[in-house]
């Protein structure tokens, strides 16, 4: 499987990028870092700068049809920047239109709110997104990991870095199931 990881040029929570990336790699799949700008992205450990990572594709040049799934890592600034970029929002929406699985952790559902894909879906996130998710027609729950099968695609969500083990295990399993259904 080829999995897109969509992140802004800065602000992604490093562990929410690296642990899911490793989970995809460990299963023998291909993770691809997609961003709104070329070259590299700056990750953070909460508010402190962490490592930089090379960008594989710029979102305006990426085609969701070439991916089997999408992972949206969190961090506060990351999804806030993504939701203001029309190409990034369209990229996310296209995964839902294509019926491809999506996984989002922590603050990442802000991008899903902007893409207007939450109506009728039950999901979890960092607690401060509860009202935004509700206003977008979603149903927020406080759970370690939530799988929502709604329509043709699966959405896997988690609340925070402490949930990463369950998040990674669940989204890798769900993405594999979705691939077999194709």
Residues carrying an active site annotation:
106-107
User: 2, 66 in Cβ contact below 8 A?
Assistant: yes
56: left (phi over 0), alpha (psi -120 to 50) or beta: alpha
Residue 28 corresponds to which tokens in the numbers above? 């023998």
Q: Which 3 state secondary structure label does DSSP give 105?
A: strand
What angle separates helix 164-181 from helix 14-26, to the nearest 10 degrees?
Answer: 50
Nearest to 90 by CA among 62, 127, 118, 69: 62
């Amino acid at each position: 499987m080829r999995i897109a990881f969509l992140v802004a040029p800065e602000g992604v929570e490093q562990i929410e990028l690296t642990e899911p990336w490793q989970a995809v790699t460990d299963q023998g799949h291909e993770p691809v870092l997609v961003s709104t700008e070329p070259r590299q992205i700056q990750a953070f450990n909460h508010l402190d700068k962490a490592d930089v990572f090379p960008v594989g594709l710029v979102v305006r040049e990426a085609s969701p049809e070439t991916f089997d799934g999408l992972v949206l890592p969190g961090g506060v600034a990351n999804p806030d920047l993504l939701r203001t970029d029309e190409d990034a929002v369209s990229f996310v929406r296209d995964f839902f239109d294509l019926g491809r699985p999506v996984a989002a952790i922590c603050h990442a559902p802000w991008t899903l709110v902007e893409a207007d894909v939450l109506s009728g879906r039950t999901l979890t996130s960092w607690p401060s997104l509860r009202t935004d998710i509700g206003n977008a027609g979603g149903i927020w729950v406080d759970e370690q990991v939530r799988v929502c099968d709604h329509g043709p695609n699966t959405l896997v969500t988690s609340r925070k870095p402490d949930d990463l083990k369950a998040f990674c295990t669940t989204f890798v399993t769900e993405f594999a199931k979705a691939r077999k259904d194709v």
